[in-house]
Amino acid sequence: MNHQRSDNWLQDPAGMTAEQTSELQTHLTTCPECSRIHAGWQAAHNLIHSAPEIKAPVGFSARFQASLVERRKLEHRRQARNLGLVLVGATVVTSILLLIRFFTTHSAVDVLSQGIQFLSVAPQRVVEYRYIFAFWLGEIPAAYLIGAAIILLSWTFLLLAIWILALRRIKHQGVTQP
């Protein structure tokens, strides 16, 4: 028999058969190194078993309960900040990507000349568009215009309210895990 049995025992001290244990005992009487390790682990194991459970300090759960409100508030603030950072980050990344795409498909000279061209014809275009707009406004009955304005404003307010309420909810209650 070699040291293998001793190693097997140390790998799984409780998993040996009676025959294996007997072989191990025989080996231990002839091998001082394995005997030393065996005795060392037995002693350490006994020490672990004799070590008592450490009790939590008095008032532990009361301290937890007291800290819960503050921790929750901090967590909700953190979530709101993270959401804000994600939104700002996404906007910045999208803008950068759009700018990169724009400048890879258009040369700087083209952009400049188109800009100058646009500025030079802009006053004339404004007059034209104002004329078209005024013409169509005059053609549409006033009741329709008022109705359209109400619908448009209602939706705008509704979306704004949802957005503000969602941000307030995240700030005060955090993101609830499903």
Partner 1 sequence: MSNSEMDWLERAQNGDDEAFTNLVTTYQNPVYNLCYRMLGDSQEAEDAAQETFWRAYQAIRRYDKNRPFATWLLSIAAHYCIDQQRKKRLPILEIDDWMEEIVPDDSPDPEKSASKSQEHEMLRRLLKSMNPQDRGALILRYWYEFSEEEISHSLQISVSAVKSRLFRARLRMAELWQTEQSSFAERIQNESPA
Task: Name the one range near partner 1 by CB under 8 A: 60-68, 99-107, 114-122, 158-166.
Answer: 60-68
Looking at the Cβ atoms of 53 and 139, the one nearer to partner 1 is 53
Range list of H helices, the chain: 4-11, 18-30, 32-50, 60-105, 108-139, 142-173
Closest distance between partner 1 and the C-beta of residue 114, in Å? 54
HSE of 32 in the Cβ direction (CA atoms, 13 Å)?
0
Quote the CA–CA distance of 174 and 178 in Å, as a whole number.
12
13-38 burial, b if ≥16 CB within 10 A, otherwise e? eeebeeeeeebbeebbeebeebeebb
Closest distance between partner 1 and the C-beta of residue 63, in Å? 7
Of 4, 18, 29, 57, the residue at the interface with partner 1 (CB under 8 A) is 57
Hey, what amino acid is at 53? E
CB atoms within 10 A of CB 9: 22
Which residues 6+ apart lie within 8 Å of 12 measured at CB?
Answer: none
Site string for partner 1, 11-50 (x = CB under 8 A): xxx----------------------xxxxxx-xxx-xxxx
Residue 141 near partner 1 by CB under 8 A: no
Closest distance between partner 1 and the C-beta of residue 105, in Å? 46
Looking at the Cβ atoms of 7 and 128, the one nearer to partner 1 is 7
**What is the end-to-end Cα distance of the chain in Å, rounded?**
59
Task: Name the one range near partner 1 by CB under 8 A: 23-31, 58-66, 98-106, 151-159.
Answer: 58-66
Quote the CA–CA distance of 171 and 178 in Å, as a whole number.
18
Looking at the Cβ atoms of 104 and 177, the one nearer to partner 1 is 177
Residues that bind partner 1 in the complex, under the rule CB under 8 A? 7, 10-13, 36-41, 43-45, 47-57, 60-61, 63-65, 67-68, 71, 75, 177-178
